[in-house]
Structure 1
Amino acid sequence: MDIGRVGVWQLFGRAPLPAVRQAATVIERLGYGALWFGESLGSREVFTSAAILLAATESVPVATGIANLWVRDATTMAAGAEALGEAYPGRFLLGVGVSHKPQVSVRGHDYANPLAATAGYLSAMETARENLEFHADPPVPTVLAALRPRMLELARERTAGAHPYFVPVEHTALARAALGSGRLLAPEQAVVLETDPATARATARAHVSFYLGLPNYVNNLRGLGFGDDDFAGGGSDRLVDAIVAWGDAETVAARVRAHLDAGADHVAVQALSADLAQASGQLAELAPALGLTPRPAGG
């Protein structure tokens, strides 16, 4: 699967479907290599969303970033992925992850030992795929949401690679070392196209503060040298600047290139705007600085 060097990560949330389809079309035309999207408690079901995005576009690959393994059993996950891969050959990538305790406990699940839960789930998915009465051709690749060393090791041994979220460039270098060669490394990078520091950091901090409420991300950042002072007040300037690239298009593009230089194969850019049209506008402004080639209609 060719997902290029730079894609888009978009949280579509509760946006009306016409706006979602329009944003997907714009992203494809701009030349981004893949369209990643998330799953949350308030979002549309992930495979339904993927089908909507695949139908709205012509050739751009669509990737889940991520499909929560607690939301559906392994047989359902495998069948959903294979069905999309069969319907849209070479265009669907399955990102799977263990999510976060606050988002899992509310569903009535026990989040104890997420690493073992993930390993067991991957095994069950492999068995389920073997027993399906249909199969995608080419096969649907699976990547794992992985931050810490043991989850990265699991991604290396059992999947096509890793999709880290909410990470600085320093993490990308560590993740590449952990994955070794031959495994996809596709981190997400949040961006704000704004040159005024106060305005840019206000937008960035609103994003960062939400994720600082999730222990997995905080623990990962602690391992990268951030501490309590960085987590207070919605995030220190040092932390906010490390997680969110802000500035003009060339400054933001330089951060994307830094991830690629650190070992990423692909970077999924997330434009921080709740309005899909505004996010698409930022992505359009950023595309030339990233060296993207627009896709023609029907291409």
Structure 2
Amino acid sequence: MSKESNNNEIVINVEYPIIYFPSTDVSKFRIKVNSSSDGIIIWIENKQTKQQFQTLVNDITQYGPNGIPPQAIWKCFEKALELQKDALSKKDGGVYKLKDDDPPRLDIQQSNKDFVIELSFSISGLYRISYSFSLLPVAIDVIDALKSELYDAREQIIELQTEVNKLKGLLVQNEPKGPVCLSVSCGTATPAANNMSWASFENRLITLGYFELSADATTIKILEAGYYLINVRVAHTHHANGCYLQLLNSNLEIARSYESNNTGYQISTHINQIFQFFAPALLTVKFISGNSQALANGSNL
């Protein structure tokens, strides 16, 4: 901010790590404007090339028309910096845009030797006047270059942390308020040694966004990592040699249940276990027996 001190000197202290100018489409700059005992120092750095330029302003009225209070000129300078700190997001088809209809503007003119910052603003909306500041190159050594690189790295860390915080907010926002669940039945009778075929998820008890059913209805995809309690019950006809049930993840067996009871016509085999899954998990259930079959609507997961 800038203010006028008791000895009528202008005091200003602003810094923007990223600023854009209308005449440059992609170049980003870092700028500092600080008051000192000798005047006001304008320092700027091209963030791509690391070139630095600087000037000392003793009397701002020497850089443009007379008759306007220095305090008002510096206020316009500050306002232009504030508007242009994120101007890239306001570009539209390469045309530089600002929020106000007729705001103060800063632009640059750069050649191999010269670097000029131009401030322009409107007087009562009737006409615009401008002030031009010529900046001289600043000799930088290895230490200065490393400091600049560290400054850029810190900015990138801050940007990444901001994105991480946004993602965390989305995760919390989308997190289910209750348990994640899916209850589904076998759609058709399944012959022995075949993968169970599950009925459609429509009108089933399901937490949306966590499960998908494959096109052939034999694989249930778990979309979010976590701990899941899996309960599989398969009702089937008996077989003299017994049978067993397999639970597979990506075609690898993770659980098995045997059933040797052959005293009744219809019996059931169960798997009830807690698993940790990493997304995506691809679950299939296989019923293996001699010549019996798993019964439709009597088998559940």
* TM-score > 0.5 by shorter chain: no
**Looking at CA atoms only, which structure, 1 or 2, has the larger radius of gyration?**
2
- Of Structure 1 and Structure 2, the greater helix share is in 1
The structure whose RCO (Cα within 8 Å, separation 6+) is larger is: 1
